[in-house]
Amino acid sequence: MKGYRRYFANKLIWFFITLVVAFILNFTLPRLMPGDPVAAIVSRMAQGMSNATGVQAIYEQYTELFGINRPIHEQFFIYVSNALRGDFGYSISQYPRTVADVIRSSIFWTIGLQLPAIIVGWILGNALGALAAYRRGTFDRVLLPASLFVSSIPAFGMAVILLVIFGVSLQWLPTSGGYGYDLIPNLSWNFIWSVIVHYQLPFWTLVLITIGGQAIGMRSMSIYELNADYVKYSRFMGIKDNQIVRYVFRNAMLPQITGLALALGTMVFGAVVAEVVFSYPGLGSTILTASLGQDYPLLSATTLIISIMVLVANFSIEIIYGFLDPRIKAAQAD
Amino acid sequence: MKHTLRQVFRSGKFVTGFIIFSAILLTVIFYPMIIRDDPLQIIGQGTFFPPGIYVNIADSMSSTRYILNLDDAAAKRIASKLNDADREAIREWLVGAGIPEGDIDIANTESLLGLWVSNYDTTVRIPGMTNADRNYYIRLNRSLDGLLSEEGVTIAATNPDTNALEATGTVELTEYANIREVANVRILPLGTDNFGRDVLTQLVTATGVSLRIGFVAGLIATLIGLVLGLVSGYIGGVVDDVILFITNLFTVIPGFILLVLISFSIGQEQRGAFVIAVVIGLTSWVWTTRAVRAQVISLRNRDHVNLSKLSGHSIAHIIIRDVLPYIASYVIMAFILQISSAILAEAALSILGLGPRTTDVPTLGLMMNWALIYQAHILGKWWAYLPIILVIALIAFSLNLMNTGLDQVFNPALRD
Amino acid sequence: MNRKSLLSILLGLLVIFALALAACGGTTTTQEEPAVVEEPTVAEPAVEEPAATEEPAAEEPAATEEPAATEEPAAEEPAAETEADPNALPRNETLYNNGQQWGAVVGWNPYSNSNNNAMAIAQQDNARVIMFETPYLYNMLDGQVYPLLADGPYEWNDARTELTFKIKPAAHWNDGTPVTAEDVAYTWATHIKYNTPTGAANIDFIEDIVAVDAQTVTIKAKLNEDGAAVNPLLVAAYVSTNYVIQKAWTETLEERVAGDATALLADTAEDVAYSGPYGKYFADDSKVIYVRDDNYWGQDASMWGKLPVPKYLAHTIFKDNAAGTTALQAGEVDVSQQFNANVQDLWLVDGLPISTYLPDAPYGIGASLPTAFFNLNSPGLDQVAVRKAIAMAVDYPTIIANAMTNQSATFDQVPRSLMNPTAGEQATYDHEAVADLQWVGNDIDGANAMLDEAGIVDTDGDGIREYNGENLSYIALCPNGWSDWQAAIEVVAAAGEKIGIEITTNFPEWSVYQTVVTKSDAPLPEDYDIFMMWSDGAGPTQPWGRIRKLMSSEFIGMASNWNGNWGQYSNPDADALINAIPGMTDPAALNEAYTELVRIYLTDVPSFTLMYRPQSFHTVNESVWTNFPHDGDGTEPPVPPLNLTDGWSIAGLYNLELVNP
């Protein structure tokens, strides 16, 4: 048990160090970009204003409000003390909305889209990969390359193709929005059905581009395991095939789970594309507009959320690993 | 070496991937030698000309005229201006204007047009007719003008002295030109894009640029990943901790966001294709590092490495002689994957408007970006976006396929 | 807010649950896919059915109510509503828009410019008046203003220093209290007290706004040393540009923010009182909906005599133009004010019941002149010959055909000047007098000859002309992602090559671009040689306002110049004319002044127009509604194609009819 404790303590320390550094970077990186975000607000205010003093006054007022005239370390400490109280300040691009409000109103759409899509894509991909490994033959020769080809289509290409086929040509599915254009959110069947229908195109876009990569990985891992000594030994011992297959796939699955955790972080782009092409409400396009509009507060907060999500997923996987994989215990015993 | 190569080319997956990739590569190399048009030249005044053969009208009038008496010529001419839906619409209008339905025979072109010409009036307001309908009838009326005429078309020129139009000749409806004799014919196999540029020529150039971006970015990412992975895995200890920490940081702050921030920061004026490639390379080495490190750790305690250590070889010597060869195949595969993901990354960046600058070179992502901005996909201009998606998919597919094939060769366990 | 987030959580869970079900069914094979794809075929009738069944129910009262609008329609409406699904908007009572609202509505505060509430709040030349109202409405087609809250035309005193108008006795707020002259005065006082954008914009021209009695308002102009109004044109523009805001509500607001100016402007004003026909119904990240106030004062015979036809105005929030166009194609949008590339394909190719104001190119009425400015400090660009040669060589037909997909009049149709293509502005100058100055473009020979004549030639044989021994090499810019401008700038750059001038393009991000271009207190940096910016559209001060912003040197020296003349052009003759015009009343003298300004502009070429752009694009889908404004629709005064929300175009809301009543 001592080995475990050291393992966890070690992981935990690194977890916190990474979190702190990620926090600092999330704060700093956006602020290193060139350009002047307050000018964007001023431009909105000052259209058609023809006296210099008025514009200048507005400019100074908002520079003060966002505190970007202070030295960056001072800004940082203000940011930290506010962030600890859960206050991420005003969004610059959507001022006077607060960052918290912007995120609150869109994050559930993103999570509701991303998480199931990753999980379904992961499950389908792994099932396909495992079957390809176990069945070989046509499955391996046809279905696997086919899924590989589908996954080679870039995310925006997939989104556009699905949009054109199912949305524009066949008109089976709605092309934009999170729910019907004529509805107001409520808990009626009509509305829920509308949400489900609007969900399909962005969802399958994300699932389809995930499957192939997962399938390839799972196939390789499964074949490794199928040829491992313990399988041969088990066969030799006369253990039933079904039983062996279950062992094999459980072992092959372990590294794939790590992949799942890391996929959370890399899905951002898929989210941006799916949300923009299908005008789906959510955080992905918010991040994009925030980075193009230099909305520091919003950008820092959203990237922080992603960082924490990835970090927590990573950390939990490693902890679970520690329990499941005897090899890690062995390594710690060194 | 020879043996491995033979093995590699025996893998069906690798060979398929290799053939596709070579075909793309050869096209990129040889097409510009045959067709020397400037890929960025704006040739079309107007957007999204459909694929086809474009024949100069003035030149075809002055080329040799052949008379062909074809029975269905008149019918085809009429059908192109007056389809079934148009006939139905004419009937609706006539009925709306008070003509008895029994008098209207929409199959009989002559009587239908007769009724139309004698009754149609733009100022008549048919109940329930929208402005869109009204515009439609005005357009239809314009296109039907002279449809049944058997007369040829008169060519006229302005007399410079009197400034009046004078007939200089006629073109009979039975006259044809042989396309091979027309001086100016331009084939646009994939039409033009929103700028009026030849899509195919641009696509070939763009593919070349994207491949180069992929290659440079892949090389950079693989080199960084390899070096960091080797050092981290072999030396271990504090060095390993630090490198692992940096790697973790890059995982936690998604590479794509970094990519967006950096591309944004360096500004469009600095964003040549090469710079974009470097930026992509610098933000995508994380996976390679992790993988190489894992491989090196498992190699570190092998007997031959220990033996080398005991013989007092230097670290560099051990890494190069005793570690690298064992992971070489793996690194090659990682490199291939990096190329394909770098091509996708460039496309993704360009879609978001953060790709290389437009006037220098076309890239696949930029072409896609412009096609989408001008809504090629929803207006059915397939030639402006579908080939681009296909090319990207084929490049990534062929590389992945080659990779899977290699995997089978280098890992005998995976062999069929 | 809390209820909303709870709802989103529930929704998220539901979706996940639904998917988990789907996923469980399909883990073993990929057979699941066709099953899911099939669903929607079942779905579509299911979704549409309720809408279809309720149509007759919802419609009947609307139909009976319209002719009897002057009576008491309010009583009938709620009865119909109880029958309908309260969460679905009846299609034939709702007018859907796109292209105005990008991103969620932030607030409802008429004092602020930061509401991102495009349909309801825009105080500009063609002010949006569905919720808040201006005393007068501007009509871009005939250049006149028509009274809205005001009663009859406004009157100047003889010295043109005081402008007086009356408020209609019928006008009242949505809470039933009358709109008074005191409201107008207090609105102004608040603008000044809290230094709002409106206050800051007008304080140099307006001394004060006072309520003479309950109905009468007098605007006192700021006077110059001579005792004349500084700018009577801008004083008069105030009455069609700025809203009247309720005094009682303003006082509530002031109390809430305890006199803090920043807080006052940041207030979201959910409780705001308004006098217009529509108010807030619903808003989230996906859409905003306004509902008709059936008590609207405008149904009084002294104004419209009836209520606007659609009960709801809705605007779906799309994330890009393509999504908006797709919805327009699908009939989910009735009025589209976004740029739909190749709009004619929607009816020519797709055969959809979609039309624009004009049936053929340019499809709309051009109102603003997107302009390329020269950096007059760049070596070589200080020479008129170089500037004019570049402007003459540009291939404008290609810009119009490719960048604007023909949605702009050509320079053959409307010769270049400082005026937009509307008839009113075209009549303000003498076309004959400047005809020989109006180039149409693509004039490579003329441009080359002009450069040769000026002695700017290529002496070292590298194909590029030199001036003072230096190659003429420039960078042309516009913001990244502004697609039609980018395409136009590409064409400008292509022209350089043909006349021996090297022009390359650069597209910086807007956030960088704007800070550089609007900094007029120092010379522009060297790499900003030829750059695009906008110019004013149609409005009550035009064409004077546009000319001022294109040519007046008064903006040089501003640290944050959001007005114009970004190339920093300075010409005392032009300045004198620009200063004199607002005080002029004699049409002949005005015509002469404008003609002279056009002459100066086309001679000096400090900047040049690249295309004509509509005030707003206006494409309508007549699947549900019809009788939208179109050329020759017989309305008098003509209803301009401005999406039925801005200025006089709101009159169009009263003319709409259902295609299938």
Looking up residue C541, the CATH number of its domain turns out to be: 3.10.105.10
Distance CA B273, CA C61 (A): 64
**C229 or A37, which is more confident:** C229
Domain identity same for C129 and C186: yes
Residue ranges making up the domain that contains C120: 86-338+616-658
Strand pairing of B185-188 and B52-55?
antiparallel
**3-state SS, one letter per residue, for chain B:** CHHHHHHHHHCHHHHHHHHHHHHHHHHHHHHHHHCCCCCCCCCCCCCCCCCEEEECHHHHHHCCCEECCCCCHHHHHHHHHCCHHHHHHHHHHHHHCCCCHHHCCCCCHHHHHHHHHHHCCCCCCCCCCCHHHHHHHHHHHHHHCCCCCCCCEEEEEECCCCCCEEEEEEECCCEECCHHHCCCEEEECCCECCCCCEHHHHHHHHHHHHHHHHHHHHHHHHHHHHHHHHHHHHHCHHHHHHHHHHHHHHHHCCHHHHHHHHHHHHHHHHCCHHHHHHHHHHHCCHHHHHHHHHHHHHHHCCHHHHHHHHCCCCHHHHHHHHHHHHHHHHHHHHHHHHHHHHHHHHHHHHHCCCCCCCCCCCCHHHHHHHHHHCCCCCCCCHHHCHHHHHHHHHHHHHHHHHHHHHHHHHCHHHCC
Mean of the pLDDT values across residues B120-148?
A: 85
User: Is residue B54 less than 8 Å (CB to CB) from chain C?
Assistant: no
> Do C639 and C594 belong to one domain?
no
Do C261 and C372 lie in a common domain? no
Whether C607 and C621 map to the same domain: the answer is no
Which residue among A102, A123, A168 places its CB closest to the CB of C23?
A123
The chain-wide mean pLDDT, for chain A, equals 80
As a whole-number percent, the residues of chain B with pLDDT over 70 amount to 97
Question: Which pLDDT belongs to residue B218?
Answer: 94
Q: Does the beta-carbon distance from A29 to B401 stay under 8 Å?
A: no
Q: How is C71-135 classified by DSSP, letter by letter?
A: S-GGGHHHHHHHHS-TTB--GGGEEEEESS--S------TT-S----TTT---STT-B-SSS--S
Q: Do residue C507 and residue C395 come from a single domain?
A: yes
CB-nearest partner of B264 from C398, C509, C527: C509
Residue C419's pLDDT band, with cuts at 50, 70 and 90, is: very high
Closest Cα in chain B, distance from residue C40 (Å):
20
Helix (H) or strand (E) holding A170: none
Chosen for mutation from C335, C408, C507 (greatest number of chain B CBs closer than 10 Å) is C507
C326 lies in the same domain as C219: yes
Looking at residue B414, its pLDDT comes to 54
User: Is the CB of C37 less than 8 angstroms away from the CB of A54?
Assistant: no
Over chain C, what is the mean pLDDT?
A: 84
- Is C55 part of a structural domain of the chain? no
- For an interface test with A, give the residue of C287, C311, C336 to mutate (most A CBs within 10 A): C287
- Kindly tell me if the per-residue pLDDT of C260 is higher than 70: yes
- Same structural domain, C604 and C622: no
- What does the alpha-carbon distance between residue A179 and residue A187 come to, in Å, rounded to a whole number? 12
**Quick one: C434 and C482 in the same domain?**
yes
In a domain, C241, yes or no: yes
Q: Does A186 touch chain C (CB under 8 A)?
A: yes
Instruction: Reply yes or no on whether the pLDDT at B154 is more than 80.
Output: yes
Cross-chain residue pair A279–C323, CB shorter than 8 Å: yes
> Is residue C202 a part of any domain in this protein?
yes
Q: In the A/B pair of chains, how many CB contacts fall below 8 A?
A: 128
Q: Sort out which chain A residues have CB atoms less than 8 A from C107's CB and list them.
A: 96
Q: How many angstroms separate the CA of residue B138 from the nearest CA in chain A?
A: 28
Find the range with the poorest average confidence among B93-102, C123-132, C146-155: B93-102
pLDDT computed for residue A328 by the predictor: 54
Q: Does A179 touch chain C (CB under 8 A)?
A: yes
- The whole-number pLDDT of residue A49 equals 60
Name every chain C residue with its beta carbon within 8 A of the beta carbon of A200: 36-37, 39-40
pLDDT tens digits along C579-633: 999 988 899 999 999 999 999 999 999 999 999 999 889 999 999 999 999 988 8
For an interface test with B, give the residue of C339, C480, C628 to mutate (most B CBs within 10 A): C480
Residues C575 and C626 reside in one and the same domain: no
In chain B, residues with a C-beta closer than 8 Å to the C-beta of C516 are none
More confident residue, A146 or C601: C601
Cα→Cα distances C562→A45, C238, C533, C555, Å: 10, 19, 10, 9
Residue from the list B253, B254, B265 with its beta carbon closest to the beta carbon of A33: B265
Q: Which residues of A touch B372 (CB under 8 A)?
A: 156, 160
Task: Give A-chain residues touching C15 at CB under 8 angstroms.
Answer: 112-113, 116, 195-196, 199
pLDDT exceeds 60 at position A230:
yes
Q: Which residues of B touch A157 (CB under 8 A)?
A: 368, 388-389, 392-393
ipTM for the assembly: 0.86
Does C423 share its domain with C545?
Answer: yes
Q: Do the Cβ atoms of C511 and A39 come closer than 8 Å?
A: yes
The whole-number average pLDDT for the span C266-286 is 92
Q: Are residues C530 and C498 in the same domain?
A: yes
Q: Tens digits of per-residue pLDDT, C531-587? A: 999 888 888 888 999 999 999 998 888 877 888 899 999 999 999 999 999 988 899
Identify from C204, C240, C547, C562 which residue to disrupt to test chain A contact, counting A C-beta atoms within 10 A and taking the largest count: C562
Residue C330 is given by DSSP the state T
Question: Does A154 contact B372 at a Cβ distance shorter than 8 Å?
Answer: no
Indicate whether A48 pLDDT > 60: no
Size of interface A-C (CB pairs under 8 A): 248
d(CA A88, CA A90): 7
Residue B61 has pLDDT above 50, yes or no: yes
Q: For C634, name the nearest residue in chain B, comparing CA atoms only.
A: B123
How, if at all, do strands C150-156 and C162-167 pair? antiparallel
Give Dmax (Cα) for chain A.
91
Structural domains counted in chain C: 2
Domains of chain A: 101-333 (1.10.3720.10)
Within an 8 Å CB–CB cutoff, is residue B122 touching chain C? no
pLDDT range class, residue A47, cuts 50, 70, 90: low
- Asked whether residue C548 is assigned to any structural domain, the reply reads yes
Nearest CA in chain B to C630: B131
Q: Does residue C167 lie in a domain region? A: yes
Q: How far is Cα C377 from Cα C528, in angstroms, rounded to an integer?
A: 10
* CA–CA dist B305, C297 (Å, integer): 92
Whether residues B400 and A156 touch (CB distance < 8 A) is answered with no
pLDDT digits (tens, 9 = 90+) for A253-298: 777 777 777 676 666 667 777 888 888 888 877 887 787 777 888 8
CATH number of the domain residue C146 falls in: 3.40.190.10
The answer to whether position C184 is within a domain reads yes
Residue C65's pLDDT band (boundaries 50, 70, 90)?
Answer: very low
Q: Which domains does chain B carry?
A: 2-42+195-414 (1.10.3720.10), 83-143 (no CATH)
Distance CA B356, CA A228 (A): 48
Sheet-wide strand order for C335-336: C278-283, C287-292, C312-316, C94-98, C335-336, C619-621, C354-356
C302 assigned to some structural domain:
yes
Q: Which residues of C touch B268 (CB under 8 A)?
A: 480, 506-509
pLDDT the model gives residue B109: 84
| B399, pLDDT greater than 50 | yes
Q: Is residue C251 part of a domain?
A: yes
pTM listed for this prediction: 0.86
Q: Do residues C605 and C627 both lie within one domain?
A: no
